[in-house]
């Protein structure tokens, strides 16, 4: 189902942030809005990664992955207790 959204963790290359952005969160937001008008960030990550998590369709994720400054768009993984 191409319309089904799942959570992705989007890893960005902070050193490639265009100079027109003062704040990395604005850059993250701009990258997200370029593939989806409705998607919102669940979290932004500052220490473990440079990036954010969001809900996207498969096509949106593939489109985002091709953009400059994107290192990877990783689908959510569900872990279990041991």
Residues at the interface with another protein (CB under 8 A): 6-7, 9, 11, 13-15, 42-43, 45-50, 53, 55, 71-72, 74, 76-82
- Among the listed residues 38, 63, 46, 4, the one whose alpha carbon sits nearest the alpha carbon of residue 73: 63
Q: How far apart are CA 25 and CA 50, in angstroms?
A: 10
3-state secondary structure of 10: strand
| Residue entry with tokens 């953009």 | 67
- Least CB distance to another protein at residue 26 (A): 19
Nearer to another protein by C-beta: 19 or 81?
Answer: 81
Nearer to another protein by C-beta: 63 or 65?
Answer: 65
- Least CB distance to another protein at residue 54 (A): 9
| Residue entry with tokens 């189902």 | 1
Nearer to another protein by C-beta: 2 or 79?
Answer: 79
């Amino acid at each position: 189902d191409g319309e089904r959204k799942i959570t992705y963790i989007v890893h960005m290359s902070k050193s490639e942030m265009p100079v027109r952005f003062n704040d990395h969160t604005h850059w993250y937001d701009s990258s997200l809005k370029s593939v989806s008008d409705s998607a919102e960030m669940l979290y932004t990550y500052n220490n473990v990664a440079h990036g954010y998590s969001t809900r996207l369709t498969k096509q949106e994720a593939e489109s985002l992955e091709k953009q400059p400054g994107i290192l990877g768009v990783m689908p959510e993984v569900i872990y279990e207790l041991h």
